């Protein structure tokens, strides 16, 4: 019986080293590249005709574009336009990585904390820099809630600061843990199907079918949550709590 964690192992497909840095092409790299190629296929090949009446693939590309454009517009406003390509990329990358992870024998790059944490940290550092660049030291007023008595501030400001610095962790662990838990659960129940065999294996198999649907929903939902939280953090940096 294989361990349910075996599916998360990084396998080096091509050992590469540049100046002591391990840059091996792994199964994770492979599926990241596949995600990028497929996303490029939808968004560039799909948009090649630039038809006024879109075909199927172009409709998908436009749907994704308008979905994220609406999200940025509603949550950040006009100043968010500059960051729209980044948020679109973030959403599409996570979405494709998550959904491709549902393909049997594939690999889910977003099930690794180091990948999700790198993205979350980039967002965190990015919005913090944007905040300081836009407001200077006034950006620190983000930690001071308005209209609160001084005594309460002594309590609230540390809480605000802690919750601010927790953001990259909550953002990365949410995505990573959802992918990890979902895939582990599927694997565990897959194991039950084999263990119970032809007689009792139908019940976990039915569960797997239902749970696969739920996992597809979660794959989308986590990409959406990551993108919308990025929008909200960006909004905080640009508008300082309105």
Partner 1 sequence: MRIPVYSALAGGLVAFAVCGTAAAKPAGMPQLDYHSFAPQLVWLVIAFVALYLVMSKLAVPAISDTLDKRQAKIQYDLDAAEKANEATRAQVAAYQKQLADAREEARGLLRGQAEADSGLAAARFTELADRLNGRIAEAEKRIAGQRDVVMAGLEQMASEIAQSAYAKLAGQPADASVLGTKVAAAAKETSR
Binding residues (CB under 8 A) for partner 1: these are 3-5, 8-10, 12, 16, 21-26, 28-29, 32-33, 35-36, 39-40, 43-44, 47, 50-52, 54, 58, 61-62, 65-66, 84-86, 88-89, 92-93, 109, 111-115, 118-119, 163, 166-167, 169-170, 173-174, 176-178, 180-181, 184, 188, 225, 229
CB of 47 or CB of 205, closer to partner 1: 47
User: Strand, coil or helix: what is 13?
Assistant: strand
Our CB check for partner 1 shows the closer of 138 and 241 to be 241
Q: CB 135 → partner 1: shortest distance, Å? A: 22
Among residues 14 and 138, whose Cβ is nearest to partner 1? 14
| Three-state helix/strand/coil letters over 141-210 | HHHCCCCCCHHHHHHHHHHHHHHHHHHHHHHHHHHHHHHHHHHHHHHHHHHHHHHHHHHHCHHHHHHHHH
Beta strand pairing call for 12-14 and 21-22:
unpaired
Core vs surface per residue 86-104: b (16+ CB within 10 A) or e = ebbebbbbbbbbbbbbbee
Q: Can you tell me the distance from the alpha carbon of 171 to that of 86, in angstroms, rounded to the nearest whole number?
A: 16
**Rounded to the nearest whole angstrom, what is the least distance from the CB of residue 162 to partner 1 in the complex?**
11
Write down the least CB distance from residue 97 to partner 1, Å.
9
Within 10 angstroms of residue 123's Cβ, the number of other Cβ atoms is 23
Cross-strand bridge partners of residue 14 = 25
Rounded to a whole number of angstroms, the minimum distance from the CB of residue 167 to partner 1 is 8
Distance of CA 223 to the CA centre of its chain: 4
Least distance (Å) from partner 1 to the CB of residue 169?
8
Closest to partner 1 by CB, 79 vs 89, is 89
How near is the Cβ of 48 to partner 1 at its closest, in Å? 8
- Between the alpha carbon of residue 4 and those of residues 112, 180, 186, the distances in Å are 15, 10, 9
Smaller CB separation from partner 1, 66 or 74: 66
Of 146 and 150, the one with the shorter C-beta distance to partner 1 is 146
Distance from C-alpha of 172 to C-alpha of 226, rounded to nearest angstrom:
8
């Amino acid at each position: 019986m294989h361990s349910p964690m075996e599916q998360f192992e990084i396998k080096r497909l091509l050992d590469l080293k540049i100046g002591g840095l391990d840059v091996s092409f792994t199964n994770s790299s492979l599926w990241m590249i596949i995600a990028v190629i497929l996303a490029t296929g939808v968004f560039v090949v799909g948009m090649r005709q630039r038809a006024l009446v879109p075909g199927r693939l172009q409709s998908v590309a436009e749907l994704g574009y308008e979905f994220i454009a609406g999200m940025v517009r509603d949550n950040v406003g006009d100043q968010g336009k500059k960051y729209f390509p980044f948020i679109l990329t973030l959403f599409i990358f996570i979405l494709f990585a998550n959904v491709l992870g549902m393909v049997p024998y594939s690999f889910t790059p977003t099930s690794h904390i180091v990948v999700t944490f790198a993205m979350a940290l980039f967002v965190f550092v990015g919005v913090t820099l944007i905040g300081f660049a836009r407001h200077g030291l006034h950006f620190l007023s983000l930690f001071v809630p308005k209209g609160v008595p001084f005594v309460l501030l002594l309590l609230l400001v540390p809480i605000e600061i802690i919750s601010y610095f927790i953001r990259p962790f909550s953002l990365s662990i949410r995505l990573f843990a959802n992918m990890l838990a979902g895939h582990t659960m599927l694997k565990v129940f897959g194991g039950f199907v084999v263990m119970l065999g032809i007689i009792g294996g139908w019940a976990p198999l039915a569960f797997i079918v239902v749970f696969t649907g739920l996992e597809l929903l979660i794959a989308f939902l986590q990409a959406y949550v990551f993108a919308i939280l990025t929008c909200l953090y960006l909004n905080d940096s640009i508008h300082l709590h309105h």
